[in-house]
Copies of this chain bind each other. A is one copy, B any other.
Amino acid sequence: MNSEDFLGSKQKYRMTNQRQVILEEIRKVNTHPTADEVYKMVRKRLPRISLGTVYRNLEILSTRGLIQKIGPVSSQMRVDGITKNHYHLRCIYCGSVKDAPIDPTENLENAIRERSDYNIIGHKLEFIGICPNCGKKENLSHKKAEDIGN
């Protein structure tokens, strides 16, 4: 689960003021802000910060495991002709998506229903990993962090 391990990132980052403030603001709230919301929050303390800086730092902070990105694992929508619920397997290197060889279970939804007041209508489970094909390449040469989705 720790990105650092497989990213082979050799860079050393400083904890700059902007970076620190961004991190503090994210930790301060118990919501899951969008990049733009983070920008707005941070700007109250650092009025001259730019949105680009926020994005750059969110990227770095999540690479370092200090925060976590939710949502778009890769930026493109994909479609699936099979409508019955099933799980997916996504490769962090090539971004490909395959069906996971495991059947969905109602148990998960039931567990949530007991504990929350949401009207649950479904769930999405996605496994993140490295596909055999990319796994080979990975052993030969370490890819740069930028090549990797999420």
**CB-contacts of A111-150 with B (<8 A):** 111-112, 115-132, 135
| Interface SS, A side | mixed
**B-side contacts of A126, CB under 8 Å:** 123-125
- List residues of chain B with CB within 8 A of the CB of A125: 108, 123-126
Q: How many chain copies? A: 2
Give residues 53-76 of A contacting B (CB, 8 Å): 58, 61-62, 65-76
Verify if A77 is at the interface (C-beta below 8 Å from B): yes
Interface size class on chain A is 35 or more
Interface pair A131/B111, CB less than 8 Å apart: no
B118 lies within 8 A of A91 (CB):
yes
B88, B92, B100, B111: the one contacting A121 at CB < 8 Å is: B92
Chain A positions within 8 Å of B, measured between CB atoms, are 1, 6, 23, 26-27, 29, 31-36, 38, 58, 61-62, 65-83, 85, 88-89, 91-92, 96-98, 100-102, 108-109, 111-112, 115-132, 135
Closest 10 pairs between A and B when the two form their complex, measured CB to CB: A118-B129, A120-B129, A27-B81, A119-B130, A101-B115, A32-B78, A32-B97, A26-B81, A68-B80, A122-B128
